[in-house]
Structure 1
Amino acid sequence: MEMLHLRYFVAVAEELNFSAAARRLHMAASPLSQRIKDLEHELGQRLFDRSTHHVTLTPAGTALLPIARDVLDQVNAIPWRLREATGARRATVFLGMPAGVHPELRARVNTLAERVRERFELKRWPGTTPALVSAVREGKLALALARLPVGDPALDQLTVMTERLGAVVPADQFAGRDAVSLAELTELSYVATPAEITPAYFDQLDRELFERGIRKRIKLADTGYGGASEIISTGMAFSVSMLDPESPMSGYRLDNVTVLPFTDFRPRLDTGLVWQHDRAHGGDLDELVAAAREVFAEPLTR
C-alpha cells in the first residue's frame, strides 16, 4: 500500500464525488477510480458504494477514514518533527567581556546565563571595549559589557556598574597614607596604557588631570596594564585604576605599588551592557535582552 492510495481514498471519502476529488488531486477521474479499486483489492474490502449519481462510504470505508487521516497527519508531520529532533534547541550567543570585570558583575553574567539556558547557550568572549563594541555592531556578539561612554546610536546600553577609581602610586613614597591629593602627584608622571586597550573614558580622564595640574606624561606602547605597574613600582609615575581591592585589576599591581583614594578628585568608571537596538525590538534577541534587563536592573556600585 502506498501513501498516495490513502491520499486518494481520503479525497474521495471527503468529497463523495470522484470528479470533485480528481480536481482536488489535480488528476483525471478515470485513473483515480482505478487507484481506489486497487486499494480495495489490496484490502479485500469495498470502501465505496457507487451508483450513477451517488458515492457513499461502506462500513469498511467509514472505519478506514479516521485511520487514513491519522496516518497522513503523521506523515505530514515528519518534516517539522525531524527539524525539531535534529535542530539546535538552543542558540549559542556570545557576550563580550573586557579586562578587569568585577567579580560581582561576573556573577550577574552567570545568573543571566542560567536564566536563559533553556533558550540560549551564553558564552563569554574577551576583548577590549572598542573591539567588543564593534563586534556587537557587526552582529558577531549578542551583548557586551563595555566601559562607558559608548557613543553609537545603533546600540542600546544599560549602565550595570559604577566603580570608584583611585591613584595607583609607588607604595614606598606613600607609606602609611590612606589617601592622596592631586597636588601631591604633580612631580610624578601620569602613565597611560596604550590607547588600543584603554577605554574612551580614560581619554577624558587624561584631559581632566592635565587641567588639574598633572602635566608630565609617560606613554606606553606594546604593553598592557602590567607595564604601567612596572613604571609605577620604580617610583617614576602614577596611574588611575579601580579602588576596590576585589577588582581583578588589583592583580596587575606589583610589590611596590598601592592604590589610594583621592582627597580632592572623585573619578568613576561606568560599565554598561550594550546590544543592537534592532535585534532586541522584534528581533532574535528579544528574550535575551528582556532577561538581561531584569538581571542587571539594579546597577552595582563599588
Structure 2
Amino acid sequence: MLHLRYFVAVAEELNFSAAARRLHMAASPLSQRVKDLEHELGQQLFDRSTHHVTLTPAGTALLPLARDILEQVNAIPWRLREATKPQRSTVFLGMPAGVHPDLRDRVNALAERVRDRFELKRWPGASPDLLAAVQEGKLALALARMPVADPALDSLPVMTERLGAVVPADQFAGREAVSLSELTGYAYVASPEESTPAYFEQLDHQLTSLGIKKRIKLSNTGYGGVSEIISSGLAFSISMLDEASPMQLYRLENMAVLPFTDFRPELDTNLVWRRDRGDSGDLADLVAAAREVFAEPLTS
C-alpha cells in the first residue's frame, strides 16, 4: 500500500522532489521505493530525465488502478464502523388527535436523538386503540391521554393541558371567563365516543355532580359535529384552552373557548410503552432517550 501511495504521488506531481515534500520524506528514498515497485511489477512506470518525469504506458495504466485500490483501503475504517454498528430498526409511535405543537416538537427531538438506532415513525389513532396496539407490540410507544390503568404498561408524563368551556360566542360576548354555574341551563355535548379519551368519561360524571344534567349525544360526526351544535347555540363542550392547540382548528364562527372561574379541568398526556420491552428489552435504549427528551413535562 505504501509503494502505491508513493507511485500515485509521483504520478500526480511528475516531480520526485515535489512528491517527496508532499509525502514528508526525502527524494532519494522515494525514488528507491518507486524502483522497488517497478522491480516487483516487472514494468517501468516512469521515464526519467534530468529535467522531466513522465509516465510510461504501464504507469498510465497503473494510475487509475492504484487510485481505486487506495480509495478502497481508505474506506476500510468507516466501512468497518458501518458493518459493526447496531442495525437501525423502524419503530412506530402512536399519536392521538390534537397533539399540541410543542409536544410534537418533543417527538421530533426524540426521533433525532435516536436516529442512529431507530427510525421513529408516527401512527395516528384514538388513545384506546393506540394503547391496545402498544400492548400487542404493534407500536413501540404511544402518546396517550390519561388515565391508563394497565400494570403491563409503563408511562412518563409529558404534557398537561388546561381545558376551557367551548360556548356560543354570541351568548357570551365580551366575556373573558365563565363559571360552571352559568352553564347549568345548557346541554353538554361530548366528542363522539370513538374519539373520546377516558378522561372525558370521568369529566362527564363530574359535570353531572356539579349540576350539568342535560346531554347531547353524537355519533359518527367527529369533532366537526360537536362544533356545529355549539355554533348553533344549542350546547357547550370542553376542549383545550390554548390557542396553539390543533383542536382550535375545529372552531366555527360563533364559537369561543373561555377559562372557567370555578372549575379547573386539565388533560394529561403520557408517553406509554410496554414495561417488559422498555425495562431491559428491545426498546430499552429508546425509552432511555425518551426519559431524557421528556424529562420536563410541558404545560399549556
Could you state the TM-score of these two structures normalised by the residue count of structure 2? 0.72
TM-superposed deviation, 1:89: 2.9
Pairing 1:23-38 to 2, within 5 Å after superposition: none
Give yes or no for the alignment of 1:100 onto 2:90.
Answer: no
Taking the aligned partners of 1:261 and 1:281, their CA distance within structure 2 comes to 40
TM-superposed deviation, 1:217: 0.2
Pairing 1:81-230 to 2, within 5 Å after superposition: 89-230=87-228
Pairing 1:44-59 to 2, within 5 Å after superposition: none
Partner of 2:274: 276
Taking the aligned partners of 1:281 and 1:130, their CA distance within structure 2 comes to 23
Partner of 2:247: 249
Partner of 2:231: 233
Taking the aligned partners of 1:128 and 1:213, their CA distance within structure 2 comes to 29
Q: Is the partner of 1:246 in helix, strand or coil?
A: coil
| 8 A Cα contact 2:158 2:294, kept in partner | yes
User: 1:295 aligned to 282, 293, 296, which one?
Assistant: 293
Q: Is the partner of 1:95 in helix, strand or coil?
A: strand
Amino acid paired to 2:160:
T
Deviations 1:215-254 (A, max 9, x none): 0000001111111000000000000000000000000010
Where in structure 1 are there 5+ consecutive unaligned residues?
A: 1-80
Taking the aligned partners of 2:266 and 2:188, their CA distance within structure 1 comes to 17
Q: Is the partner of 2:296 in helix, strand or coil?
A: coil
| 8 A Cα contact 2:86 2:117, kept in partner | no
Could you state the TM-score of these two structures normalised by the residue count of structure 1? 0.71
Taking the aligned partners of 1:87 and 1:256, their CA distance within structure 2 comes to 57
Taking the aligned partners of 1:86 and 1:126, their CA distance within structure 2 comes to 34
TM-superposed deviation, 1:276: 0.4
Taking every aligned residue pair, what percent have the same amino acid on both sides?
A: 75
TM-superposed deviation, 1:186: 1.1
Q: Is the partner of 1:110 in helix, strand or coil?
A: helix
RMSD over aligned CA atoms reads: 1.7
TM-superposed deviation, 1:88: 8.8
Amino acid paired to 2:151:
P
Taking the aligned partners of 2:236 and 2:227, their CA distance within structure 1 comes to 9
Q: Is the partner of 1:196 in helix, strand or coil?
A: helix
Given the superposition, is the C-alpha separation of residues 180 and 291 from structure 1 closer, same or farther in structure 2, using an over 3 Å criterion? same
Deviations 1:18-58 (A, max 9, x none): xxxxxxxxxxxxxxxxxxxxxxxxxxxxxxxxxxxxxxxxx
Q: Is the partner of 2:99 in helix, strand or coil?
A: coil
TM-superposed deviation, 1:189: 0.5
Taking the aligned partners of 1:242 and 1:188, their CA distance within structure 2 comes to 19
Amino acid paired to 2:102:
E
Taking the aligned partners of 1:152 and 1:100, their CA distance within structure 2 comes to 24
Taking the aligned partners of 1:227 and 1:87, their CA distance within structure 2 comes to 51
TM-superposed deviation, 1:196: 1.7
Amino acid paired to 1:132:
L
TM-superposed deviation, 1:107: 0.1
TM-superposed deviation, 1:259: 0.2
